[in-house]
């Protein structure tokens, strides 16, 4: 059995008064059978050292910022076997912020319209990363290093390249990988799986694109084939449920690559960023039902944990306005948790409820926009969430 997570990072020190750690628990207003199956699989991994436990964390800017999901991933790694770190993407091609825990660069000319923004550019087929970059450059490349800190924490023995060419006939010639030409094309997932000569944390993907053809990259998946926890984070700034459901046409297909045992559902802050009269809880719940059903098609035994919205302000034309829909989102998530046997981590309560975001800002945990968190704040949330998960597991083990 796994021990409860010891306080780490910010939790090892005295917390500011604005934080309510007593509220950092998992609520199960309905059945908890799926969550208990998840814990059983986690125990089996630890006991046998075999197999993988897969976690998918989806959301908007709180997830794209990466501090929150990476903190959970690193905390879980300290408890059990380390698997893989999920999908990579060169976000700088889209002119947006990137995960600083890995390094990634490109050569050639690329176009990368952003999922949540209007653009005159032709949109790619988005998938589970929520991003896509298109190139016609015959010798374009993408290079990455998994360990930005120079450690040997992460390595991979294979690399899956998610993407597609402009014509099926071009597939065998579009992608080549430095040091190897051996790959398997998987038609079910529209991806290329390369075996690497040796375990490494640094890879260069070299594209050889025929004249008149183009290639669209939608993600990279380094694979170690180790037993352990695989943590996949999908975050796009500004993404709401319709962004994932209606614009990411390859999401259901790509979920096969994750096969989540636990889905952390943190979409909602952007759905609620409207005047109170324009927020429709029933439409919000129906959109979540659609997303949950997509996951269940991949793994009918997947467990779910909702993360409620943080207390926040929303952007308006002349500045910021208080978001009045936070409690309505929380209520909708509680109702969905009953319907699907899911857990709820009540971030709103952890913050202290209505207008608590000002206190978090004053404590250096939330940014001046009173919507996003600072790096310290995100890491604190990661510690609190992991602590709640492990405390719930220990209680269930008794």
For residue range 16-47, list pLDDT tens digits in order.
999 999 999 999 999 999 999 999 999 999 99
pLDDT top residue among 177 and 207: 207
Dihedral-angle region of residue 17 (phi above 0 means left; psi in -120 to 50 means alpha; beta otherwise): alpha
| Sheet containing 175-177: order of strands | 103-107, 141-145, 202-207, 175-177
Q: Are 57 and 234 in contact (CB under 8 A)?
A: yes
Is 176 a residue whose pLDDT tops 80? Answer: no
Residue 10: the pLDDT is 41
Residue 262's DSSP bridge partners are: 55, 303
Separation of alpha carbons 176 and 173, rounded Å = 7
308-350 pLDDT, tens digit per residue, is 999 999 999 888 999 999 999 999 999 999 999 999 999 999 9
The sign of the torsion formed by the CA atoms of 171, 172, 174, 175 equals positive
The whole-angstrom separation of Cα 251 and Cα 64 is 17
CATH number of 91-223: 2.60.120
Instruction: Convert the pLDDT of each residue in 90-113 to its tens digit.
Output: 999 999 999 999 999 999 999 999
Q: Please state, in angstroms and rounded to a whole number, the distance separating the CA atoms of residues 206 and 392.
A: 46
Q: How far apart are CA 326 and CA 161, in angstroms?
A: 38
Query: Which CATH number among 3.40.50.920, 3.40.50.1110, 2.60.40.740, 3.30.420.40 corresponds to the domain 9-83+226-397?
Result: 3.40.50.1110
Position with higher pLDDT, 80 vs 310: 310
Prediction pTM value: 0.95
- What pLDDT sits at residue 172? 64
Domain boundaries defined on the chain: 9-83+226-397, 91-223
In tens, the pLDDT along 135-156 reads: 999 989 999 999 999 999 999 9
Q: How far apart are CA 37 and CA 304, in angstroms?
A: 11
């Amino acid at each position: 059995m796994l021990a409860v997570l010891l306080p780490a990072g910010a939790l090892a020190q005295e917390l500011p008064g604005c934080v309510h750690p007593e509220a950092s628990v998992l609520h199960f207003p309905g059945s908890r059978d799926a969550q208990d199956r998840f814990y059983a699989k986690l125990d089996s991994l630890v006991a046998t050292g075999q197999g993988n436990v897969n976690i998918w964390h989806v959301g908007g800017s709180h997830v794209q910022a990466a501090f929150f999901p990476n903190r959970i991933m690193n905390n879980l790694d300290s408890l059990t076997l380390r698997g893989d770190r999920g999908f990579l993407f060169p976000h700088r091609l889209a002119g947006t912020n990137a995960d600083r825990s890995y390094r990634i660069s490109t050569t050639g000319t690329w176009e990368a319209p952003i999922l949540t923004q209007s653009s005159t550019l032709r949109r790619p087929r988005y998938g589970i990363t929520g991003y896509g970059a298109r190139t016609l450059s015959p010798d374009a490349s993408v290079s990455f290093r998994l360990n930005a800190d120079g450690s040997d924490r992460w390595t991979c023995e294979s690399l899956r390249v998610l993407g597609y060419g402009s014509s099926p006939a071009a597939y065998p010639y579009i992608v080549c990988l430095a040091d190897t030409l051996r790959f398997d094309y998987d038609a079910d997932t529209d991806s290329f799986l390369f075996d690497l000569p040796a375990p490494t944390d640094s890879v260069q993907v070299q594209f050889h694109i025929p004249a008149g053809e183009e290639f669209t990259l939608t993600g990279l998946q380094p694979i170690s084939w180790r037993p352990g926890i695989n943590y996949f984070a999908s975050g796009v700034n500004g993404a709401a449920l319709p962004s994932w459901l209606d614009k990411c046409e390859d999401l259901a297909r790509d979920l096969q690559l994750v096969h989540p045992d636990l889905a952390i559902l943190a979409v909602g802050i952007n759905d609620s960023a409207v005047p109170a009269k324009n927020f429709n809880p029933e439409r919000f719940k129906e959109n979540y039902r659609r997303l949950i059903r997509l996951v269940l098609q991949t793994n009918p035994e997947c467990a779910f944990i909702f993360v409620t919205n943080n207390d926040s302000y929303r952007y308006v034309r002349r500045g910021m306005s208080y978001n009045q829909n936070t409690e309505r989102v929380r209520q909708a998530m509680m109702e969905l948790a009953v319907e699907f046997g899911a857990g709820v981590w009540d971030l709103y309560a952890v913050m202290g409820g209505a207008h608590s975001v000002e206190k978090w800002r004053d404590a250096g945990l939330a940014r001046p926009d009173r919507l996003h968190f600072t790096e310290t704040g995100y890491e604190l949330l990661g510690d609190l969430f992991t602590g709640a998960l492990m405390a719930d597991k220990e209680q269930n083990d008794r």
